[in-house]
Amino acid sequence: MKVKWKTEKVQVAEGATIFDSFAVVKSSFKPQQDFRDSMVEMIRAKRIRQPEELQELLACYLTLNHDGHHELIIKVFQEVWFELNGGVY
């Protein structure tokens, strides 16, 4: 299972993140594509551009998802970050 973000205005917890979103549990046959779509959706909806905001987004995905998905999440995150930076590291 993986977690997909919904961007509705709901505080997630005390000391909520900049995202003011909540997680939804989802089963997936295409987790790589689903993680990517979810990350891009969050980045667009919240207009995330600063490296600190992107790192916070990554931390949220890693915190909310099973350890078995962490390698894939990091891989997808790196691809998205690379694209956001115009292909420049």
pLDDT tens figures, 7-58: 443 333 444 555 567 777 888 899 999 999 999 999 999 999 899 999 999 9
- Look at residue 19 in the predicted model and tell me its pLDDT: 59
% helix / strand / coil in the chain, to the nearest 5? 55, 10, 35
Q: How many CA atoms lie within 13 A of 13 on its CB side?
A: 4
54-83 mean pLDDT: 95
Q: How many CA atoms lie within 13 A of 19 on its CB side?
A: 25
Has residue 4 got a pLDDT over 70? no
Q: Tell me how long the chain is.
A: 89
Does the pTM of the predicted model rise above 0.75? no
Q: E strands of the chain, at which residues?
A: 2-6, 22-26
